[in-house]
Homo-oligomer: A and B are copies of this chain.
Amino acid sequence: MTFTANRRRLLQFGALASAGLTAAPAFAAQPADRKMGYAIMGLGTYADVILPRFAECRHSRVTALVSGSMEKARRYAAQYGVPDRGLYTYDTFDSIRDNPEVDIVYVILPNGLHHEYTLRAAAAGKHVMCEKPMANTAAEAEAMIAACRAADRKLMIGYRSHFESNNREAIRVARSGELGKLRIVTAETGFNIGDPTQWRLNRALAGGGSMMDIGIYSLQAARYLTGEEPVSVSAVESTDRTDIRFKEVEDTINFLLKFPSGVVADCVSTYGSAHNRYRIVGTGGWLDAEPATAYRGNSLKLWKDGQTAAHPAPDLATNQFSGMLDHLSQCVMTGSEPIVAGEEGLRDMRIIEAIYASAREGRTIIL
């Protein structure tokens, strides 16, 4: 990376930090050849998204794989250059403590297993990247934070949008005053879920339905766009329990969040139809993202002074995946805290529990 590129990157994140954002990711200078070793735990569809992105990382490499199937692990190992000594099953996982090539365990298991394997990774002396949602419950999330703290290990949640150029630009615009005083956020995330046998529709493994999986993006957007924590939540659930997919978990659960500044966020979470957008509206204009949190192709448009125009985000030196992976590596190397540490995941879990309670009890929950 040239000085110029590095400076641009620092400036981009620096500007965000000075606007009162979540702390800028650590980009302190590191030896160019120093890479933290990741163990990827769980070789499902999202691992297929993550694994190829290590090729774009500057400070992260894959040194281990954890799978229920050694045959599958060997196949992935051949593809991604992982040595045999880095292959584990869930039964042999605890011996990863003896593998000095592994610094970080990336837990990409079903939600209901995040708690157990984060604790086991910390007990094995490894730092942890844990996929969202952090856990099935806030109580589990608290235990995960405590375990990592006791083991003096970093814990980060895989909130990739915080490292994606359009989302970072949206945060910058929202907090810059360019939209005037912020008033309303609308955020919609959802898809029409298929296979009724998948773990996401199993309560023990998923912890809940659309809210845990996809509604959390709407919640995150409302929080990171405003930079505020909600003071109340009012939610409405709509689930057809005769639909074979929704025997155990909710389909649609929409919610209104009220923030201390007076901003209200209207959020959609659904497993019934396709949504991937948000808009933040101030007294002086709005910024609209659609798609907002896709793996690629995210797009912004800005309305001001009666005109709507495309609003291209400045390029970042990293994409959302390599940026996220390298961020934790750099936090480990420098001893700094991730911008989306376990505490950030816990905040979401507490709000999600309030959303469920509000829908169940038919009342506004004060947070």
Contacts and interface: CB of A to CB of B under 8 A. Distances in A.
A275 interface: yes
A214 to B, nearest CB: 13
Contacts of A153: none
B184 A273 contact: yes
Contacts of A322: none
A272 interface: yes
B256 A264 contact: no
A160 B184 CA distance: 26
Interface stretch (A55-63, A82-90, A232-240, A337-345): A232-240
A283 interface: yes
B256 A274 contact: no
A281 B254 CA distance: 14
Contacts of A286: 273-274
A282 interface: yes
A241 to B, nearest CB: 10
Q: How many chain copies does the complex carry? A: 2
Interface string A331-367: 0000000000000000000000000000000111000
A367 to B, nearest CB: 13
B281 A264 contact: no
A280 to B, nearest CB: 10
Contacts of A274: 281, 285-286, 303
A183 B274 CA distance: 10
Interface string A278-302: 0001110110000000000000000
27 contacts: A183-B270, A183-B273, A184-B188, A184-B190, A184-B268, A184-B273, A184-B275, A186-B188, A186-B268, A192-B283, A234-B234, A234-B236, A234-B362, A234-B364, A235-B256, A236-B364, A238-B263, A238-B264, A252-B262, A254-B266, A256-B256, A273-B281, A273-B286, A274-B286, A274-B303, A362-B363, A363-B364
